[in-house]
Structure 1
Amino acid sequence: MAFKLTSAALLAAIIGAGVAAPVVAAPSMTKIDIAAFDPDKDGTIDAKEVETAATAAFAKLEKDKDGTLDAKELEGRLTAADLKKADPDGDGTLDQKEYVALALGLFKAADPDNDGTIDAKELMSPAGSALVQVIR
């Protein structure tokens, strides 16, 4: 967000000064996100890559080493309602298996053509954005 605000402020200053503003495209976060989770560099994310990324994200977030993620460790990645839905045993936490299952469910939701991969366009969908939030 800071980049967008800075760019907007710069653009306003340029326009306010009567200088023609160059058109500059912001870097595509979708391409960055795909590259971050696409070790085979095919330009898509598949279920195995999502599982690997979710496992790594779980390990990174699991700070107290009790084998689960609570709302605090999730750092706002899920709403309370989403945490409740993703918590089949109702203990208020997600273990690694539950967290990976959540990510794979989001993967399926972000793959409406059911081809087993998510491309840049699919990653920009609400389900794709939710997936990135969980696996980053």
Structure 2
Amino acid sequence: MAATTPSKALLWSGVGVSGVGVVALLLVAVADLGKADQIASVAGAVLALVGIGLSLWAQFGNRGQAPVEGAVEASGARSVAAGGSVGAVVTGDGVQAPAAPPAMPAGGGPTVSGPVTASGDRSVAAGGDIGSVSTGDA
């Protein structure tokens, strides 16, 4: 997945803050090594907690979010596009949807953050899981 503009800005701001922190610790170390040791210990513990929080957010924080507005598009006769998961899709004549759509995974699956496009006759696209699709006539 390509990096987006906000993530690049966050990356460079993190690099800048880290650089300033290293320079500050070096300056304090020259003046008082004991004080620099104490500051580095506290800063390391705080940054470790921030890193754990960011890791958890990156792993679990984006679940269930819909894709960006306007990114779901269906074009073509009987085409279907869904930003998240769909249980059953039927686009044919005389075809019945199943009485009970197939069970979706417990986690619901991740949705994509980019465009979801179904183009062409009877095409189907989803940003998440698809349980069952029937595009033909009975």
The answer to whether TM tops 0.5 is no
Q: TM-score, normalised by structure 1?
A: 0.30
Output the TM-score relative to the length of structure 2.
Answer: 0.30
The structure carrying a bigger helix percent of its residues is: 1
- In terms of fraction of residues, the more strand-rich structure is 2
Rg: which structure is higher?
2
